[in-house]
Amino acid sequence: MPLDGLFLYGICRELNDKLKLGRIEKIYQPAKEEIILTISKPGSKNRLVLNAGAENARVHLTGTTRPNPVSPPMFCMLLRKHLEGGRIIEFRQSGLDRVLDIRVDCRDELGQPLVKSLICEIMGRHSNIILVSRAGEVILDGIRRYSHSVSRHREVLPGRVYIPPPDQGKSNPFSLTEDHFRELVLSGQLDGSLAAAVQRYLDGFSIPTCKELVRLAGINPQMLLEHCGEHEMRTLWQTLQKIMTDIRAKGVRATLLCRPSGEPVDFFALETAHREELQQITGTANEIADSFFTYKLNRLVLSKEKNQLLGVIKKHTKRISKKLHLQQKSVADAGEADRYRLSGELLTSYMHLVEKGMSEIELDNYYDPDGEKVSILLDPHRSGPENSQAYFKKYAKARNTREASLRMASLSEEELNYLEGVVAAIDMAQATDDLEEIRRELRSQGYLKEPVSIPRKPRVKEAQPRSTPLQFVSGDGFTVLVGKNNRQNDTLTFKIADEHDIWLHTCKIPGSHVIIRTEEREVPPATLHQAAALAAHYSRANGSSNVPVDYTLRKYVKKPNGARPGYVIYEKQKTLYVDPASDIKESL
């Protein structure tokens, strides 16, 4: 959900408790619409992120570091000029508006004290970060500039007077009475939902928060206002009063909703109603916001890097497919080799019938059981032996061309299969470390160029980050390991696994290597079936059914010399057929 005014109230209160009178040490702008302030107080140093993006607008403390551009943008340089070294007076929020005013005690060019504000407006696509001099309320600049051609209400340009966003005319829930609350809610559209009626008149409450408020009151969040009676109104008011009283006394106790896998789904400035399918994590507003947006940012970065790598693979796949088509055409064109050989042999056998000056001759084909004749074109300027040798030369050339084209086509098909396996590894990657391993592999294979590095002083070589295989436990208690990319597949199969462990892989389908750690115990059929389901799930056949999976002892798996990462040959295998769509649930 978007960061609403109630959640911002919790963040503002926590920031005042933690950062008031802190000094702004450094200012960075790691992204186009994002600013990070490093604020220090005796014994502590904190990073405050301000984001004015349309989808991720927010303000909160963060524990995540972001890479910074080599050259700071103009707005960042302006903030450094005016705010670095300044001391924070306070964080202000007018009512429950989604506007945070960071008041900073600074100095002007003459060294005289001057108060400036870094105003963060968290309003979706209208979000902004604006630097204002409180002497005359003059705008020094904004991270997003616009004139009256964009907004009739105000301009955000250097030198203009700062005008706050227009008031929404909503009521502050901290000062609301029960009668006024009833009057506001019941004045809404009767055919609309109760949650929508509350959100329309209650300041700081977004639609998701209002739905959660209604749910906490024990009311169906989809209930229409016209169906709302005295009991519902009284219960809803009591729930709201309790929430606001607790927030006023103790601050916001925020909640993060997560799937069982740990993936954040939503966050609220209040404790939420119980949901069996989701886990609830409570914490301070800053902690919850940082957890949610850090995960979201990591997902965006991961998706972007995946798309970049997939683009590289797509380009090479297109090139190799085109080359394979030409090689297959060369094989087809060289199919005349047998006809050339036959013509040469028949001319040699019937040499006495061939005379110089003939342009064509029909001879009996003694290879044909029916004895049909074969028409052979001749060069009239050549004798019979010369025509025969000419056909044998054509045969040798066509044969060599076909053999070379077949070898090259086989290598192209092998390369395409390898790239398909890389695509499967990219799809399966869960973190940027996984993608970095794939990136290093592609560089070693020549699909990516080595990054250009700026010469620096020699230093101790840092170890490259390496991700670890996925690990599962079967229903019978056996450990099952799954490689996430080709390099990891090689490490898993030839360095981690013992020779008596069971190795599994989808039959003739790119995918992960899977190892069952047997510890020289007999593996039950159920565990074997679950591991096969994992092999099918983590392969290019993930969306298919009845997928063939080969399995054998690890000692029967070999890697040919010079083979690409992830490529192996194996023997003495058996095959299971599994449906990953359903079996994977059982194996986990």
Task: State the pLDDT at residue 171.
Answer: 93
519: CB partners within 8 A, 6+ apart? none
CA distances 36 to 92, 131, 134, Å, are 18, 14, 22
**In a domain? residue 166:** no
112 shares its domain with 11 = yes
CATH code (residue 112): 2.30.310.10
**In a domain? residue 161:** no
283 shares its domain with 350 = no
- In this prediction, residue 583 has a pLDDT band, given cuts at 50, 70 and 90, of low
Q: Taking a C-beta distance cutoff of 8 angstroms, is the pair 565, 490 a contact?
A: yes
50 shares its domain with 116 = yes
**In a domain? residue 251:** yes
Domain region containing 67: 5-142
- pLDDT, tens digit, 9 for 90 and up, residues 515-525: 999 988 999 99
- pLDDT, tens digit, 9 for 90 and up, residues 398-446: 888 888 888 999 899 989 999 999 998 998 888 888 899 999 999 989 9
CATH code (residue 224): 1.10.8.50
What is the chain's length? Answer: 588
Q: What is the mean pLDDT of residues 376-382?
A: 89
In angstroms, rounded to a whole number, what is the distance separating the alpha carbons of residues 422 and 424?
5
**In a domain? residue 41:** yes
In angstroms, rounded to a whole number, what is the distance separating the alpha carbons of residues 416 and 311?
15
Task: State the pLDDT at residue 69.
Answer: 84
pLDDT at 55 over 90: no
**In a domain? residue 409:** yes
Domain boundary among 288, 308, 323: 288
Strand pairing of 373-377 and 470-473? Answer: unpaired
The number of beta carbons lying within 10 Å of the beta carbon of residue 366 is 12
Domain boundary among 384, 415, 450: 450
443 shares its domain with 503 = no
Domain boundary among 142, 157, 185: 142
In angstroms, rounded to a whole number, what is the distance separating the alpha carbons of residues 478 and 527?
7
Task: State the pLDDT at residue 586.
Answer: 47
In angstroms, rounded to a whole number, what is the distance separating the alpha carbons of residues 382 and 380?
5
pLDDT at 581 over 70: no
Return the closest-CA partner of residue 429 out of 372, 381, 486. Answer: 486
Task: State the pLDDT at residue 234.
Answer: 94
Task: State the pLDDT at residue 452.
Answer: 61
Task: State the pLDDT at residue 7.
Answer: 95
- pLDDT, tens digit, 9 for 90 and up, residues 305-346: 999 999 999 999 999 999 999 988 888 877 777 788 888 888
319 shares its domain with 376 = yes
**In a domain? residue 519:** yes
114 shares its domain with 206 = no
pLDDT at 108 over 80: no
352 shares its domain with 246 = no
**Phi, psi for 159 (deg, rounded to 5):** 95, -15
* Residue, of 93 and 369, whose pLDDT is higher: 93
Residue 518, phi-psi category: left (phi > 0), alpha (psi -120 to 50), beta (remainder):
alpha
The number of beta carbons lying within 10 Å of the beta carbon of residue 432 is 16
Written as six digits, the tokens of 220 are: 């169906």
**In a domain? residue 155:** no
Written as six digits, the tokens of 104 are: 């900073």
| Three-state secondary structure call for residue 516 | strand
Output the DSSP codes for 54-85.
Answer: TTT-EEEEE-------SS--HHHHHHHHHHTT
* Residue, of 406 and 465, whose pLDDT is higher: 406
- In this prediction, residue 460 has a pLDDT band, given cuts at 50, 70 and 90, of very low
Question: How many domains are contained in the chain?
Answer: 4
**In a domain? residue 281:** yes
| Three-state secondary structure call for residue 117 | strand
110 shares its domain with 230 = no
196 shares its domain with 81 = no
The residue behind tokens 């009151």 is 217
Q: What is the mean pLDDT of residues 173-187?
A: 91
Global pTM value? 0.76
CA distances 363 to 229, 339, 389, 469, 570, Å, are 104, 14, 17, 68, 51
pLDDT at 58 over 50: yes
124 shares its domain with 187 = no
321 shares its domain with 436 = yes
- pLDDT, tens digit, 9 for 90 and up, residues 249-270: 999 999 999 988 888 999 999 9
CA distances 165 to 60, 78, 151, 321, 411, Å, are 21, 23, 11, 56, 64
- pLDDT, tens digit, 9 for 90 and up, residues 565-574: 999 999 999 9
Helix (H), strand (E) at residue 5? helix 5-19
425 shares its domain with 310 = yes
| Mean of all residue pLDDT scores within the chain | 89
